[in-house]
């Protein structure tokens, strides 16, 4: 009981000695805080959105993209090119 009274008096003494701060925080600091908060909030929402929608996007792409038909063997794609030649000309 004696410890409780001592702690209560110590807390009362410390709290009564606190004075209000005589400082002014301008509107620039508040706007900077709001901008940082909105940026952080949007980053978290975007990250969650990517995590949630990535599997759905892959699922839709897999259904839409079927394997194209291949050219028959022996067609123009199977012909060998001479050494040093390229299929397209490169110009600067």
3-state secondary structure 12-67: HHHHHCCCCCCCCCCHHHHHHHHHHHHHHHHHHHHHHHHHHHHHHHHHHHHHHCCC
Of 12 and 17, more confident: 12
Question: Is residue 86 in a domain?
Answer: no
7 vs 14: CA distance, rounded Å? 11
Question: Is residue 89 in a domain?
Answer: no
Question: Is residue 56 in a domain?
Answer: yes
Question: Is residue 76 in a domain?
Answer: no
Do 81 and 87 meet the contact criterion of CB atoms below 8 Å apart?
yes
Percent of the chain's residues with pLDDT above 90: 22
pLDDT digits (tens, 9 = 90+) for 34-61: 999 999 999 999 999 999 998 888 888 8
> Measured over all CA atoms, what is the biggest interatomic distance in the chain, rounded to whole angstroms?
100
Query: What pLDDT sits at residue 49?
Result: 93
Question: Is residue 35 in a domain?
Answer: yes
Question: Is residue 52 in a domain?
Answer: yes
Q: What is the pTM of this model?
A: 0.42
Query: What pLDDT sits at residue 51?
Result: 92
Q: How many domains, in total, are found in the chain?
A: 1
Question: Is residue 5 in a domain?
Answer: no
Domain around 39: 26-64
Query: What pLDDT sits at residue 66?
Result: 65
């Amino acid at each position: 009981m004696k410890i409780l009274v001592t702690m209560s008096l110590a807390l009362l003494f410390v709290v009564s000695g606190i004075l209000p701060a005589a400082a002014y925080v301008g509107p620039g600091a508040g706007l900077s805080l709001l901008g940082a908060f909105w940026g952080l909030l949007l980053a978290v929402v975007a990250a969650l959105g990517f995590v949630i929608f990535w599997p759905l996007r892959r699922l839709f792409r897999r259904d839409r993209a079927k394997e194209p038909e291949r050219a028959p063997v022996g067609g123009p794609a199977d012909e060998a090119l001479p050494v040093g030649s390229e299929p397209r000309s490169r110009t600067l």
